[in-house]
């Protein structure tokens, strides 16, 4: 049982480059979300989705785009990478939304922007 799979695990970009962080879950979860984690800042919500075709902004959405064409996949796109986007990114999913309980996290993607 794979759970939540994120790729790549590590990535180095130059300022201005674009890239997509992939997230896939095999648990048929409706809810998916992206967080970034920076030292001393905790986990900050970037975007989330309550089902295929539905996305919404979190606390820190600027510079990121998402789409949800299938239940399984929730990619995060960096349009023009900036050093401030250097972070560890976590994708998480939940079966029925937040009130139902547990968020399952992927292992994280460490991004460095030079």
CB of 45 to another protein, least distance (A): 6
Binding another protein (rule: CB under 8 A), the pick from 43, 61, 65, 86 is 43
Q: Name which of 14 and 39 has its Cβ closer to another protein.
A: 39
Instruction: State both tokens at 25.
Output: 């879950």
Contact in structure between 5 and 109 (CB atoms under 8 Å): no
Q: How many residues bind another protein (CB under 8 A)?
A: 26
Binding mask 57-96 for another protein (x = CB under 8 A): -xx------------------------------x------
CA 51 vs CA 14, 82, 102: distances in Å = 33, 29, 17
């Amino acid at each position: 049982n794979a759970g939540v799979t994120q790729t790549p695990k590590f990535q180095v970009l130059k300022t201005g480059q674009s890239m997509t962080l992939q997230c896939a879950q095999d648990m048929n979860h409706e809810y998916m979300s992206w967080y970034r984690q920076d030292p001393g800042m905790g986990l900050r919500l970037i975007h989330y989705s309550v089902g295929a075709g539905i996305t919404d902004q979190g606390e820190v959405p600027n510079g990121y785009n998402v789409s949800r064409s299938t239940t399984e996949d929730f990619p995060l796109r960096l349009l023009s990478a900036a050093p401030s986007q250097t972070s560890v990114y976590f994708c998480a999913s939940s079966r029925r939304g937040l009130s139902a309980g547990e968020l399952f996290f992927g292992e994280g993607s460490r991004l460095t922007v030079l």
